[in-house]
Amino acid sequence: MRIIEAKDYKELSKQAANIIAAQIVMKPDCVLGLATGSSPIGTYDQLVEKYENGDLDFSKVSSVNLDEYRGLDHENDQSYYYFMHEHLFDRVNIDAENTNVPDGTNPDAEAECKRYEELIRSYGGVDLQLLGLGHNGHIGFNEPAPIFEKETHCVDLTESTIEANKRFFASADDVPKQAYTMGIGTIMRAKKILVVVSGADKADIVAKAFFGDVTPEVPASILQMHPDVTIVGDAEALAKIPR
């Protein structure tokens, strides 16, 4: 596990974008696993800047997103499909046909999860998976649980996740209660994993997830077992890790 400490969110975003950009340069037709939420927005902005400067070409890149709320359509501005188009896809020259987000409108959870898992396998897996880190240790929408879920599945969101996400909605009642998400096994099959984390409010979970016991009660702790993980965090988020 490699840990890169950035002085602030802007530097963190630059460092993370540099790692993703290097992946694209090394393998122009790479498969990127992408994440949503507030943490990667700066990273996407930096990638867009590199593209606009002529330093990055997304034309052969394919992408698979970690997750999507169940029940939200593409036009809903809180859907992750909408988020990805707003922050990255519509701002670079990636082929829309090669971008993939779980279909939150599919009412058949079993069929959608199977379809998405097969889609990821059809690409030959993910070359680099970008992750954020939830306050309770969730990655994607893999919540604390008795076991590590292996493949893409439909999950009931915990109250803490709903509470954390309600700032994006009119009220907590409007936050979807379920989501489709890659499983822990799906994530762990990525060749490389990049975690971005910022803020003092993440310091406790960073220390617990990456320096504590490996347990499904802290889903991100499984990343300790992956052979190629890079964590890019600002000083506040990394304040409680062992030195």
Cβ-based burial of 18 (10 A; exposed 0-12, middle 13-18, buried ≥19) = middle
d(CA 77, CA 68) in angstroms, rounded, equals 12
Q: Tell me if residue 136 is catalytic.
A: yes
Angle at 140 between CA 125 and CA 115, to 5 degrees: 50
Q: Which of 143, 149, 234, 236 is catalytic?
A: 143
67 among known catalytic residues: yes
Residue whose token pair is 């996400």? 165
Query: From the candidates 68, 138, 153, 165, which is the catalytic residue?
Result: 138
Q: How far apart are CA 125 and CA 193, in angstroms?
A: 12
Alpha-helical segments (H) within 63-146: 80-87, 109-122
Task: Quickly tell me which residue has 């304040």 as its tokens.
Answer: 239
Is 138 designated active site? yes
Q: For the chain, where are the E strands, in sequence order?
A: 2-6, 31-34, 62-65, 67-69, 99-100, 128-131, 153-156, 178-181, 192-197, 229-234
**Helices and strands (DSSP H and E) totals, the chain:** 7, 10
Kindly state the DSSP code that residue 242 receives in the 8-state scheme.
Answer: -
165 is catalytic: no
Residue 124 falls in which region: left (phi positive, over 0), alpha (psi -120 to 50) or beta? left
Residue identified by tokens 């803490």 is 160
Residue among 136, 153, 165, 234 flagged as catalytic: 136
List, by residue number, the catalytic residues.
Answer: 67, 136, 138, 143
